[in-house]
Amino acid sequence: MSEETKLKVYLETSFVSYLTGRPTMQEPIATWQAVSRQWWEAVAPDSDLFVSRYVLIEAEQGNANQAARRLEVLRNIPLLDIEPVRIKEVAMALIQEHALPENETTDAYHIATAAYYGMDVLLTWNCKHIANEFTLPKTYNLLNRMGLKCPVILTPKRYMEDCNHD
């Protein structure tokens, strides 16, 4: 894939967690881990990857060994500045418009950051709040109304299926 056709992909923390998680046989976690590794090997090299400080903050939490593995994967991925006021405005609008619950501000900031920087894709395993098929229309409508490019919000599984990478 040429440099100009590379997709800009925002990696949300749940993706990194499944990518680096201790192997398990427990379903559906084992499948999500395998798909995350497949995406990392097949798609990541042809994509421009980005994260924000929100991802790093979440990745640092929990078991110290697992946190170190997550942070190692994130070490060379460009970090998007989270300081622009517009990001906070978008995140708060997502909550006020009930696209996300009031207590999920970090998830709102992930979406707002990806939209602010014109990401093509926001990759996540968080289907409860971010890649939720029932709330995504609200998210996309709000971002459009605010004049922002809407990243396509996908799980790695859906990405692999839609882009024939399986």
Instruction: Grade residue 76 by pLDDT with cuts at 50, 70 and 90.
Output: very high
Burial bucket for residue 139 (CB in 10 Å: 0-12, 13-18, 19+): buried
Q: Which residues lie below 8 Å from residue 131, measured CB to CB, with a gap of 6+?
A: 124, 125, 153, 154, 155, 158
Across 52-74, average pLDDT: 95
Is-contact 110 99, C-beta < 8 A? no
In order of their start, the domains of the chain are: 3-162 (3.40.50.1010)
Nearest by Cα to 129 from 98, 156, 160: 98
Give pLDDT tens digits for 98-127.
998 888 889 999 999 999 999 999 999 998
State how far the Cα of 146 lies from the Cα of 93, in Å rounded to an integer. Answer: 9
* Residue 90 pLDDT exceeds 70: yes
State how far the Cα of 139 lies from the Cα of 18, in Å rounded to an integer. Answer: 24
* Residue 161 pLDDT exceeds 70: yes
Tokens 């924000």 label which residue?
A: 52
pLDDT of residue 164: 63
pTM greater than 0.85: yes
* CA-CA-CA-CA dihedral for 147, 151, 153, 154, to nearest 10: 160
Helix 85-96 with 136-145: angle, nearest 10 deg? 140
Burial bucket for residue 19 (CB in 10 Å: 0-12, 13-18, 19+): buried
